[in-house]
Amino acid sequence: MRLSSFFMLALLLAVVISALGLVHSRHRHRQLFVELTQLERERDELNIEFGRLQLEQATWADPNRIEQIATGTLGMRYPRAEELKVVAP
């Protein structure tokens, strides 16, 4: 009788440990899923910001805009033909 009660106690302990392991595993899974969701949201926001920055860079680097600033704000102009000098190598 003592051996069977020891065996039952060992089985009960194994079931309890297994249940605790399952609870811990599911809790960890939920934590990791929440973290994954947050990281995916952050990734999407960064992709949107990256697209906006690329558009802004393209706008700032537009040749027409640069020419307008050069002529209007800085007073730059293309040199006239008589102002050009050709340097021989």
Cα 23 to chain center, whole Å?
32
Query: How is 23-51 classified by DSSP, letter by letter?
Result: HHHHHHHHHHHHHHHHHHHHHHHHHHHHH
Per residue of the chain (89 residues), what is the pLDDT tens digit? 688 899 999 999 999 999 999 999 999 999 999 999 999 999 999 999 999 999 999 998 888 888 888 898 888 988 898 888 889 88
pTM beyond 0.75? no
Q: Considering all CA atoms of the chain, what is the largest pairwise distance in Å, rounded to the nearest integer?
A: 117
Cα separations in angstroms, 40 against 22, 31, 32, 48? 27, 14, 12, 12
Please provide the size of the chain in residues.
89
